[in-house]
Structure 1
Amino acid sequence: MTTVATTSRVELLTSGSWTSVCDWEQLTPGRGVAVLLPDGTQAAVFRDHADRLYAVANRDPFTGAYVLSRGLVGSSADGRVYVASPLLKQRFDLATGECLDDETVRIPVHAARLGEV
């Protein structure tokens, strides 16, 4: 497990610079949060049970709804961490954005890191 300082901020790479989006402590393992980025788009930020950080687009490409942050986090038999859309249940690999149920579909992935306050 990763040891994280209590003052860590989650940062996403947007338009060539790092943007703080929330406190690390606000992320519950296995759950996501939606964040609004400076360009008006939304991202879904996740912390898995191994304290790894992921960020993907919040928009479900199958329905157009901004709901992926409310999806269930799980892992496939081969160890890929995914979020399952709360609407139609398609699963998206949190590291690559690939849809595990339809290889022709992919969601954007955001670079994420922990920064100090």
Structure 2
Amino acid sequence: MNCPFCHKNVPLWWYYFHVKGHRRLKADGQHESHITLHPELREQGSLEGVPKVYEHPKCGGMTVMPEKIIRSYLKNPFMYNGKTFCTGCHTYVDDSELFWVETGQRMSEYRLELQRNAR
């Protein structure tokens, strides 16, 4: 089976354990890896104007979203569940609590906008 984290072909008998390794929590509370589209399927264009840093006003933490995740959700905005890691809280929080630093827009509104435009 193809792993949605590292995109390697993993034998079915080993798949559960392989994926479990990607979901392991790091010391900061974040998962070891995140599901993304295969690199060839991700958005390939410029990311100029695309927000990359979000703030969580509740704790004051600012987090930079990894490029591979940005490129994945730009191509498929239905891919993620509305929870995002906050480096200030060291846990996953609802994206309605987060705001893009570059635009001031609530992350959940941005996600819904991308989803509406994808239909």
Choose between structure 1 and 2: higher strand proportion: 1
Whose relative contact order is higher, 1 or 2, with alpha carbons under 8 Å and at least 6 apart?
1
Same fold (TM > 0.5): no
Choose between structure 1 and 2: higher helix proportion: 2
Larger Cα Rg: Structure 1 or Structure 2? 2
> TM-score, structure 1 length as denominator?
0.29
